Amino acid sequence: QQWDFCLSKSRGNFPTAREKRFLTQLSTCSLGSLSGGRRLNWSFSGARNSFRHRNKATRKSLTSLQGSKRCKTQWHRPITNSIFNSHFKESSRNEEFHIEHLVAKGAFGVVFKVKEKETPSKREENTSSQASYALKVLKKSKLIEENSVQQIKDEADIQKVCGHNQFIVQQIDLWQNRHNLYILSEYVPNGELFSKISQFSIDLVRLYVGEIALAIDFLHNAGIIYRDAKPENILLTQQFHIKLTDFGLSKWLKLGANTRTMCGTFKYMAPEILCGEPYGHAVDWWALGVIACQMLTQKCPNIKRYLLRQQERNQRNASSNMASDGGGSECLSNAPSIAQINGCLLDSDSSDRDDDFLPESVGSLSHEGQDVLRRLLAIGPRERIRSVMQLQRIALYKDYQLDAKRMLKLSPQEIIRRDGIRIYEDNQFEQCSSELATKAFHNF
């Protein structure tokens, strides 16, 4: 009771003489004896005057206890960091790399070739050459403005899951700062496919179409639709094998499922995408057929002209049917829409179709070349080649095994030298000096 009385008085008015004597006696006791040998968890929040009434031992104990629990202030995290925090860590690695030159530009950012800076630990290990990487820098504000936040997260996940494949660029690390996202990937030294090679022999086409097909088939079996197969996204390694990159338009999609999003590069978009119909993984095989057509003929198929002609033909048939029925207003209201006409085009019988959208030079190709184009560029998705197993059965791959390990043992450089194919060495982006590239990197 005296203890409670003194404590209440110490918080209020100044203590009396009797209370001072009690406090003097109390100050000689240790904190351990008061608590029965058990240490109390004291706190001294509030005015510092309440701390002065404790004895020296108590003040020392409280000071050490408070110091052990002291923590740094948690400052406010920018909302742009929180949006991407699930995939991109906030510790920046920008200072670890030296910018060499600009590699490519895209809708949301740029890609630089970077090299690791020399560190004391690497100097001790006697590593004379630092590794080179591709660093993709993306503007957060642009991604948020274009509603592409989930798209970039899917890209990071897909490349992380599939990067171990021999024909897909491997992702190394992800991080962010206040304004940008950074994706560090392996650097593929020989650049884009068509920037190095403009003419292809049938043997080189067989090799490259097979490697691209293996990469696409791997993605499809992993539940991914690529939707951006084009020469700009096909890179050549030091040994001139291919690697797919840029999964910005890729999407998680189970085999057999459909989606309706219209995206991709127009020249490589399948008819079902252009017609606004639901589509599946077969669109990637159409894009592979367009790339094969470019390799063999240096031209793309003119699918737009073909679709327009088929649409006009169906419209004429619909008009003649309405005229034969009397041409009343009831018949006009039942006229087929553009989407229905296109749907009829895709579902029509194969005997009603022709392949005159292919370049005229296809007629001068070998039987194997013509066969692979017609099978990959079939208008109906169900008639199109849709797997490596089906590709293996066509004439181009007779007595040729489509296996990743076997194909990596082949040398594209030997085929290029044997067939006298010219290789281009210049890269338009490498003309940018290191100083200008570094300045562009820091100003981005």
- Indicate which residues carry an active-site annotation: 228
Strands in 26-145 per DSSP E: 97-105, 109-116, 132-139
Dihedral sign for Cα atoms in the order 84, 88, 91, 96: negative
User: 170 near 186, Cβ under 8 Å?
Assistant: yes
**Which two three-digit tokens encode residue 97?**
């790399």
**Which two three-digit tokens encode residue 239?**
């040994």
- Distance in angstroms (rounded) separating the CA atoms of residues 58 and 27: 9
Strands in 245-397 per DSSP E: 251-252
**Which two three-digit tokens encode residue 384?**
């199109």
Report the Cα–Cα distance between both ends of the chain, in Å, rounded: 71
**Which two three-digit tokens encode residue 399?**
């007595």
- Distance in angstroms (rounded) separating the CA atoms of residues 164 and 145: 32
Show the DSSP H helices in 115-223 as ranges.
Answer: 120-124, 140-145, 149-162, 193-196, 202-221
Pick from 423, 434, 433, 428: nearest CA to 238 = 423
